[in-house]
Amino acid sequence: MQAEHVNGATSKPVYTPVELNPKSSFHLFIAEQDVPVDLQSLYNGCTADKAVAAYACASDSQLLESLQNFPLTGTLYLAGTEPFLWRVTSHARDAGLCSDQVRLLAPISRERHLFCCHCHTITEEVTYSPYACSGCGAMLEVTDHFSRLHGAYFSFQANAEDSADMPEKREVN
């Protein structure tokens, strides 16, 4: 199968511009590491009850606690790398938030997490394909099939028939 076919995936998230939810009684803005300009301007434009915070890790205990105390009528806004966005979304879902209560800003980088279908290791900071798996070392073909649960893209041994003959390196975005 050609990579072009594989890349017809429909699971790759599409990020549309984020607006404030005017119906919400509470707005929580969460960023990875630093609050980016577009999240800050959303926060500045919000006149309702609100809070903003930046976390280095999507499983930070304070972040998880803020989700536990989140109201049914609140909206959560997230900014950061794609794996961070989906990791927090997954925690939010466990806490009871509906998917329409979570609004994701476009990822701040095009780096991907890559899920290896052979050893199940997730390799971080991937920007091109094929890419060496950090678990089993296989040269992985990067696809656009995205797992919202893992926040990672599916990948498999590139040119499995002849792994000595690697396809040309290409950027992924």
Partner 1 sequence: MSTIDQIVVEVVAIEQVAPMIKEFTLQPAEGQFTPFSAGAHVVVEMGEGEQRYRNAYSLMSDPNDNRQYQIAVRLQEESRGGSIYMHEQVAVGDQLKISPPANLFAPEWRAKKHILFAGGVGITPFLSYVPVMQQRGAEFELHYMYRSQQTGAYSAELTEQLGDRCCCYDADQSSRCDIAVVMADQPLGTHFYICGPESLIEAVQATADELGIPAGAIHWEEFAGAKPGQPFTVELSRSGVELAVAANKSVLETLEAADIDIPNLCRAGVCGQCVCDVSEGEIEHRDAYLSDAEKQSGQRMMPCVSRAAGERLVLDI
Q: Which residues bind partner 1 (CB under 8 A)?
A: 21, 23-25, 70-74, 93, 95-101
Quote the least distance from Cβ 70 to partner 1, whole Å.
5
Write the CB contacts of 79 (distance below 8 Å, at least 6 apart in sequence).
29, 30, 31, 32, 35, 36, 38, 39, 85, 105, 108
Quote the least distance from Cβ 115 to partner 1, whole Å.
23
Residues in the chain: 173
Quote the least distance from Cβ 100 to partner 1, whole Å.
4
| Apex 146 CA angle, 162 and 21, nearest 5 | 165
Quote the least distance from Cβ 66 to partner 1, whole Å.
11
In the complex with partner 1, which residue's Cβ is closer, 102 or 132?
Answer: 102
One-letter amino acid of 82 = E
One-letter amino acid of 141 = E
The phi and psi torsions of 115 (rounded to 5 degrees) equal: -95, 120
In the complex with partner 1, which residue's Cβ is closer, 98 or 164?
Answer: 98
In the complex with partner 1, which residue's Cβ is closer, 24 or 89?
Answer: 24
Pull the structure tokens for residue 7: 């890349």
In the complex with partner 1, which residue's Cβ is closer, 71 or 167?
Answer: 71
